[in-house]
């Protein structure tokens, strides 16, 4: 009886007329509904860092078996197709498929910069999206400033229809239904940095040097794009890290005209307590290292408020499963499938032979600070960007974000991932052992 009542409750919750949902891990600040998704980030001038909340209860473990409940609405119109057989809000990740509440009308095209070989694919794609699919195309302003595009008269008619934006100045998070990336893995990381709340579905074409995160080939892009727009595609939810950096203000050098030490706009500035807070959404990893100093880094790592270790060495990497195949893999960590709910902690050249990488559950709160006895400061970067110095008294809080990045698959999450391992990282590539010939076996018998 209890199981039947639970299923009845689940069916009611999954109905289209359900009330707005609230993620317990986010304390109500990331509310959404199927019919009217509410984007989690208020409009601001900065796209790469949103103001951090002042509450000390920002990070908290969730009761979910799979870490924080992910927001499964992606942009204004996309969501994960609900499975009526879902139990306890947990879907089989391999069965997740993309669907649209309404047909997508706007698309953001991200092109790898300084690569002349991408100009023709970029033109073909944009022309197809505008003329065949009647979509509004957004591009970054500096893309159209490329001399090859600016001087192309045949592309002039299409170029006039573009909607443009500037990173860190224009907020387009509520205007994009769909994202297409042309290039390598860096284009996907860049797309993630533009959306500090809900991320629209991302279709990534392999036109770069590595292409681990970009599974699509551009040869048949017309049919592939059409198939995705019609909602017929598998999707993998790549978890992101929600990172909050709190710095102590140190005299007049900390902030100038609202800008932080690294030139980024200051957020969460509280002059009464002398703190400056910044928040980031990270797809690959957070890297804390010793910077230009010749001394070993010396940072304390806390997990849910408990000191678990002090890292002595070149630094430490805190990565998502997506980031486990990047810097973490180069530092000797295991590779984790994106559907595994976890956070990986990997030391960089540790001053201890027994310090091995560890995997902790998604949803825990990690806090990293300089050790009191540290001889030097540390430096932190987020997906290789926004690099800044961390001093005594500063802190970095890390947990799993409620806003994953929905990456569209060519086939399915398992096949695509192992294909990337084999093709890009040459995983388990070796010379195979030869088998015995039948004649030899008979003679031996």
Average predicted confidence (pLDDT) for the chain: 80
- Looking at residue 90, what is its pLDDT? 53
In a domain, 421, yes or no: no
382 phi, psi to nearest 5 deg:
-125, 110
Q: 281 with 134, same domain?
A: no
Q: 382 with 281, same domain?
A: yes
Mean pLDDT of 344-373: 95
Q: 245 with 204, same domain?
A: no
Long-range contact set of residues 252-257: C-beta below 8 Å, sequence gap at least 24: none
In a domain, 291, yes or no: yes
Q: Which DSSP helix (H) or strand (E) runs through 185? A: helix 185-194
With a pLDDT cut of 90, the percent of the chain lying above it is 55
Compute how many other C-beta atoms are within 10 angstroms of the C-beta atom of residue 412.
17
- Looking at residue 300, what is its pLDDT? 97
Give the CA distances from residue 290 to residues 11, 95, 285, in Å, rounded to whole numbers and listed in that order: 52, 43, 16
56 contact partners, CB below 8 Å, separation of at least 6 = none
Token duo for residue 341: 């709910």
Give the CA distances from residue 402 to residues 32, 33, 131, 165, 269, in Å, rounded to whole numbers and listed in that order: 11, 14, 36, 26, 24
Reply yes or no on whether the pLDDT at 88 is more than 70.
no
- Looking at residue 38, what is its pLDDT? 36
Give the CA distances from residue 296 to residues 169, 313, 337, in Å, rounded to whole numbers and listed in that order: 38, 5, 32
Token duo for residue 244: 């909050």
- CA–CA–CA angle 92, 97, 98 (5° rounding): 140
Reply yes or no on whether the pLDDT at 279 is more than 90.
yes
Q: 204 with 289, same domain?
A: no
Q: Tell me if residue 286 falls in helix, strand or coil.
A: strand
Q: 233 with 346, same domain?
A: no
Token duo for residue 142: 């500096």
pLDDT tens-digit map of 419-432: 999 999 999 988 88
Residue 61's pLDDT band (cuts 50, 70, 90) = very low
In a domain, 67, yes or no: no
122 phi, psi to nearest 5 deg:
-60, -45
Residue 329's pLDDT band (cuts 50, 70, 90) = very high
Reply yes or no on whether the pLDDT at 102 is more than 50.
yes
In a domain, 186, yes or no: yes
Q: 245 with 335, same domain?
A: yes
Domain boundary among 212, 238, 264: 238
Max Cα-Cα span within the chain: 89
What is the DSSP pairing of strand 285-289 with strand 315-319? antiparallel
In a domain, 39, yes or no: no
Q: Lowest mean pLDDT of 40-49, 205-214, 349-358, name the range.
A: 40-49
Domain, as residue range, for 125 = 97-238
Mean pLDDT of 223-249: 93
pTM of the model: 0.78
Reply yes or no on whether the pLDDT at 1 is more than 70.
no
CA–chain centroid gap for 23, Å, is 19
CATH value at residue 330: 2.60.200.30
pLDDT tens-digit map of 386-443: 999 999 999 999 999 999 999 999 999 999 999 999 999 999 988 888 888 876 656 6
Give the residue, 433 or 266, on which the prediction is more confident.
433
Q: 234 with 105, same domain?
A: yes
How far is Cα 393 from Cα 277, in angstroms, rounded to an integer?
A: 13
Domain boundary among 214, 238, 262: 238
Residue 290, burial from CB neighbour count under 10 angstroms (0-12, 13-18, 19+): buried
DSSP single-letter state for residue 398:
E
Q: 289 with 168, same domain?
A: no
Q: 181 with 322, same domain?
A: no
> How many Å is the Cα radius of gyration of the chain?
24
CATH value at residue 213: 3.40.50.10330
In a domain, 414, yes or no: no
Q: 224 with 108, same domain?
A: yes
Placement of tokens 């008619």 in the chain: 157
Total domains, the chain:
2
Which of 367, 277, 243, 386 is CA-nearest to residue 51? 277
Q: 160 with 185, same domain?
A: yes
In a domain, 3, yes or no: no
Give the residue, 56 or 98, on which the prediction is more confident.
98
Q: 142 with 279, same domain?
A: no
- Looking at residue 444, what is its pLDDT? 62
pLDDT tens-digit map of 68-78: 677 778 888 88
pLDDT tens-digit map of 138-168: 999 888 888 878 777 778 778 888 999 988 8
- Looking at residue 237, what is its pLDDT? 93
Residue 43's pLDDT band (cuts 50, 70, 90) = very low
In a domain, 80, yes or no: no
């Amino acid at each position: 009886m209890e199981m039947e009542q639970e299923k009845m409750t689940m069916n009611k919750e999954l109905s289209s007329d359900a009330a707005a949902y609230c993620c317990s891990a986010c304390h109500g600040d990331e509310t959404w509904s199927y019919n009217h998704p509410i984007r989690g980030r208020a409009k601001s001038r900065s796209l790469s860092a949103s103001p951090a909340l002042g509450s000390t209860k920002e990070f908290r473990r969730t009761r979910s078996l799979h870490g924080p409940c992910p927001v499964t609405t992606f942009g204004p119109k996309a969501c994960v197709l609900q499975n009526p057989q879902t139990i306890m809000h947990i879907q089989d990740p391999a069965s997740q498929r993309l669907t649209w509440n309404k047909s997508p009308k706007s698309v953001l095209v991200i092109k790898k910069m300084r690569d002349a070989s991408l100009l023709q694919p970029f033109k073909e794609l944009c022309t197809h999206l505008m003329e065949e699919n009647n979509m509004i195309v957004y591009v970054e302003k500096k893309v159209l400033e490329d001399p090859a595009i600016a001087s192309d008269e045949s592309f002039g008619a299409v170029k006039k229809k573009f909607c443009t934006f500037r990173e860190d100045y224009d907020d387009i998070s509520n205007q994009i239904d769909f994202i297409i990336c042309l290039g390598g893995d860096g284009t996907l990381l860049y797309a993630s940095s533009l959306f500090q709340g809900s991320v629209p579905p991302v279709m990534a074409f392999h036109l770069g040097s590595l292409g681990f995160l970009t599974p699509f080939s551009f040869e048949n892009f017309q049919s592939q794009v059409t198939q995705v727009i019609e909602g017929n595609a598998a999707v993998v939810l790549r978890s992101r890290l929600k990172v909050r950096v709190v710095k102590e203000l140190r005299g007049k050098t900390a902030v100038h005209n609202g800008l932080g030490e690294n030139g980024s706009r200051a957020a969460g500035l509280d002059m009464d307590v002398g703190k400056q807070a910044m928040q980031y959404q990270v797809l690959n990893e957070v890297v804390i290292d010793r910077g230009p100093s010749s001394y070993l880094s010396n940072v304390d790592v806390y997990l849910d408020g408990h000191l678990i270790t002090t890292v002595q060495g070149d630094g430490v990497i805190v990565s998502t499963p997506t980031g486990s195949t990047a810097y973490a893999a180069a530092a000797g960590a295991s590779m984790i499938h994106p559907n595994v709910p976890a956070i990986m902690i990997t030391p960089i050249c540790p001053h201890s032979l027994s310090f091995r990488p560890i995997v902790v559950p998604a949803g825990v709160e990690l806090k990293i600070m300089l050790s009191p006895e540290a001889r030097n400061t540390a430096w932190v970067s987020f997906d290789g960007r926004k690099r800044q110095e961390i001093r005594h008294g500063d802190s970095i809080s890390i947990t799993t974000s409620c806003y994953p990045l929905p990456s569209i698959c060519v086939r399915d999450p398992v096949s695509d991932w192992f294909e990337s391992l084999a093709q890009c990282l040459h995983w388990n590539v070796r010379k195979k052992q030869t088998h015995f010939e039948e004649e030899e076996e008979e003679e031996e018998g």
